[in-house]
Amino acid sequence: MNAKGHNLFNRLARALWGLQRSRLQKRGFRESLATDAWSAEDIRRHFDRRLVEIVRDAAQNIPFYRRLYREAGVEVASFSGVADMHRLPAIDRHDLLESGDQMVRSKRSKLFTVAHTTGGSTGTVATMISRRGVSCLEMGCVYALWSRMGVRPNDHKVTLRGALLDQGRKLHVREEGGRRLTISTYHLRDDNVDEIIRLIDEFRPDWLHVYPSAASQLANIMKRTGKRLGCQIKGVLCGSENVYDWQVELFAEVFGGITYSHYGHGEMAILGGWCKDTRKFHFLPHHGYLELLDDDGKLITEPGVTGEMTATGFMDDIMPLIRYRTGDYGAWDEPGPCPACGRAHQRMARIDGRIQEYLILADGTRFPLTNINALHGTFFSLIYRFQFVQDKPGKATLRFMPAVEINDEGMAAIRNAFAYLPEIGLALEFRQVEEISLTRAGKQRVVVNSEYLPEAERTGA
Ligand SMILES: [Zn+2]
């Protein structure tokens, strides 16, 4: 092929792939919405059918599972679905890191697969291989969740999601044919607030699409400086990080509109989101199957009991995850269909987030950060970010990046905002710091071990 022909071929291939992406996104959207009408029996039948297909296929075609099931003595031929899941060993991130290449379907074409990495936020980056286009399917599913709040695909969004634009030199960039304005979360400072508000007002977004930590930071700056958006947004779409009740209150107060949150993860095995009238996570049954396991690997079925979210994904057959311990924790809601929307989807009352998002009290109790409520003090008006450093139970250091000079009165307000923690078994020290670093993806860890801190921030932490 000559250069001209080659060029034409590339353009044609790109155009066809563009069509295919859009087709997959629409399919994800349509299939997700269809599950709204599924009864509990429909869902159970679907789980049984897909689990049997996936487990048999994995045992036959994927070296890792073939060995895992053989060594555990699992009789795959008699595996019947949900009722037999406990017979399968659970796997976790270590398996991805150590045996990732054995977890991929042996017969596959490079043309139809794509590699991506997950887990930069926990410091261990694992490579996943997926069928090309799975992320488009996933995006369609996310739009189906968002459509519960009236989000349409062509709506304009401002993104505050840990973007490092042009290596930190740029404040903003327009994407997706002008439908998305991304603002660098590394520029969220008091002295940039006028320009950021001007950018948002000129763009007139329908939605803010955010990491809750980044949106909180902007909201706090606006609160402190007395600035408000001139445009009226429909709401705040949260993802990738846990959203706490105090944040929902803060967003309503500062930005107006509704707040919505969904749970997904880089491995794309399960996906769930709030319904219109509850802050409970409803998991899409065609996307994956969710279990909660305790520390001994036993199944948790009672509502309200904290367990590790363990996922079996239905979307990708190239590197399937079967009983994958996600490292995220939460608790089931009451059994039965959702009283608010009637959906029979698997439903969690709360997701506490990563194991790092607990403080460990003196008696070993895990205190989820969902219970932290410091909004009603002046704490947030004084700081940019805060982070707990905890190395042993019952003791932690609260590091905070001051946004203003903190006088004695300010320090007293900060101590006061967390005064309930010593009472329940956590001795707290306070330390002003110049920087609290974000993860590679621009997210913020709220509780860390001191070993996690970069060298420059470690001294005295
Ligand atoms: Zn509901």
361-458 maps to CATH 3.40.50.12780? no
- Among the ranges given (35-39, 338-342, 356-360, 421-425), the one the predictor scored with the smallest mean pLDDT: 356-360
Q: Give the residue from 344, 450, 324, 441 showing the smallest Cα distance to 397.
A: 450
Task: Give the distance (Å) from ligand 1 centre to CA of residue 449.
Answer: 36
pLDDT bin (cut points 50, 70, 90) of residue 293 is very high
Q: For the segment 95-136, what is each residue's pLDDT rounded down to a tens digit?
A: 988 899 999 998 777 778 888 877 644 445 678 899 999 999
pLDDT at position 122? 47
- Identify the three-state secondary structure at position 115: strand
Q: Give the residue from 243, 198, 206, 244 showing the smallest Cα distance to 222.
A: 198
Q: For the segment 46-63, what is each residue's pLDDT rounded down to a tens digit?
A: 999 999 999 999 999 999
CA distances for 9 relative to 17, 18, 23, 112, angstroms? 12, 14, 21, 18
How many other β-carbons are positioned within 10 Å of the β-carbon of residue 427? 11
Q: Which phi and psi (to 5°) does residue 351 adopt?
A: -120, 120
Task: Give the distance (Å) from ligand 1 centre to CA of residue 341.
Answer: 4
- Give, in degrees to the nearest 5, the angle at Cα 420 between 416 and 423: 125
CA distance 225 to 29: 41
Task: Give the distance (Å) from ligand 1 centre to CA of residue 337.
Answer: 8
Side chain identity at residue 112, one-letter code = F
Percent of the chain exceeding pLDDT 90 equals 55
Domain ranges (residues) in the chain: 22-138+264-354, 361-458
pLDDT at position 108? 77
Task: Give the distance (Å) from ligand 1 centre to CA of residue 230.
Answer: 33
Task: Give the distance (Å) from ligand 1 centre to CA of residue 277.
Answer: 7
Task: Give the distance (Å) from ligand 1 centre to CA of residue 20.
Answer: 32
Task: Give the distance (Å) from ligand 1 centre to CA of residue 37.
Answer: 12
Chain mean position to CA 247: 16
pLDDT bin (cut points 50, 70, 90) of residue 163 is low
pLDDT at position 377? 57
Task: Give the distance (Å) from ligand 1 centre to CA of residue 343.
Answer: 6
Task: Give the distance (Å) from ligand 1 centre to CA of residue 143.
Answer: 17
Task: Give the distance (Å) from ligand 1 centre to CA of residue 287.
Answer: 17
CA distance 454 to 436: 9
CA distances for 384 relative to 134, 236, 252, 432, angstroms? 37, 20, 19, 11
Is the Cβ–Cβ distance between 47 and 163 less than 8 Å? no
Q: Give the residue from 330, 312, 333 showing the smallest Cα distance to 322.
A: 312
Task: Give the distance (Å) from ligand 1 centre to CA of residue 49.
Answer: 25
pLDDT bin (cut points 50, 70, 90) of residue 25 is very high
Q: For the segment 348-405, what is each residue's pLDDT rounded down to a tens digit?
A: 998 876 655 678 888 877 776 766 655 555 677 788 888 889 988 999 999 998 888 8
What angle separates helix 193-203 from helix 212-225, to the nearest 10 degrees?
A: 110
Residues less than 5 Å from ion ligand 1, measured at CB:
275, 338, 340-341
pLDDT at position 124? 59
The token duo for 295 is 């520390």
CATH of domain 22-138+264-354: 3.40.50.12780
pLDDT bin (cut points 50, 70, 90) of residue 410 is confident
Task: Give the distance (Å) from ligand 1 centre to CA of residue 350.
Answer: 13
Mean of the per-residue pLDDT values for the chain? 88
